Amino acid sequence: MNAVELHEVCKTYGDTAVLNGVSLVARKGSVIAIIGRSGSGKSTMLRCVNGLETIQSGRIDVAGHRIGDGRTNLRMLRQKVGIVFQGYNLFPHYDVLNNVTLALRLVKKISRTEAEEIAARVLGQVGLAEKLRARPSELSGGQQQRVAIARSLAMAPEIMLFDEVTSALDPELTGEVLKVLADLAGSGMTMLLVTHEMAFAQNIATEVVFMHGGKIWESGPPSQLFANPQTAELRKFISQ
């Protein structure tokens, strides 16, 4: 069963084509690592999947919603498709518990008691059960990123999108976050990740997608893509 389908998706900013006929299928439970140089369209593609960017042509089917026909219920879509960015976007004046429960109470209209039970569970899932009352300023970058992941997980999404979530972290904190992502992958969560972590892409992803110039240049299982790149562009990218 397919969780995400992109068919000939085109996205432009003015006269600049950022996505140029992108087609992609992510089956339920798959982990797709999206790699490529800055400016290749990776992050824009993720933002289109979550309805944060409009597309000029093509179609996107995700979690039972069609994006691009002008009738998408974005509120419902975003309850099914979580997205975590490089920036943590936590509310600095709220503690961890309130950062995680806010959307549950305001969007899903869940009682405070039930929301706090969910928050405790997902914070335990990311290894932060003891940080319920900490403010973001009291946490390391890796811990803040894990809170951001827990906040998305609390909404019980069907699909998780991750946009360079480790790029601002040092190696030790990167390891913390990658462990959480590996655990999520092991649990069967459908995931699309824009990443520069090649070891993660090789060891955890079920498929790797290499983007170049707004297009999907190559895609396939990690063992195939890294061992036997078919294009000069991917060979150069891997070697660097």
* Tens digits of residue pLDDT in 47-60: 999 989 999 999 99
- Asked if the model's pLDDT at residue 109 lies above 80, the reply is yes
CA-nearest of 21, 25, 35 to 234 is 35
Name the pTM for this structure: 0.93
Residue 155: pLDDT band by 50, 70, 90 thresholds? very high
pLDDT value of residue 17: 92
**Residue 42 and residue 212: Cα distance in Å, rounded?**
9
* Tens digits of residue pLDDT in 5-19: 999 999 999 889 999
Measure CA of the first residue to CA of the last residue in the chain; give whole Å: 36
- Asked if the model's pLDDT at residue 145 lies above 90, the reply is yes
* Least confident piece of the model among 64-73, 146-155, 171-180: 64-73
pLDDT value of residue 67: 85
- Across the range 182-210, mean pLDDT stands at 94
How is the beta sheet containing 16-27 ordered, strand by strand? 16-27, 2-13, 57-62, 65-67
Backbone angles phi, psi at 65, to 5 degrees: -115, 145
Residue 86: pLDDT band by 50, 70, 90 thresholds? confident
Domains of the chain, CATH where assigned: 2-89+157-239 (3.40.50.300)
- Across the range 72-89, mean pLDDT stands at 87
- Asked if the model's pLDDT at residue 72 lies above 80, the reply is no
pLDDT value of residue 193: 96
pLDDT value of residue 75: 82
* Tens digits of residue pLDDT in 132-143: 999 999 999 999
Distant-in-sequence, close-in-space partners of 118: CB < 8 Å, separation ≥ 6: 100, 101, 104, 110, 154
Three-class SS state of 127: coil
Distant-in-sequence, close-in-space partners of 223: CB < 8 Å, separation ≥ 6: 202
Average pLDDT, the chain: 92
pLDDT value of residue 64: 85
Give me the numbers of helices (H) and strands (E) for the chain, helices first please: 9, 10
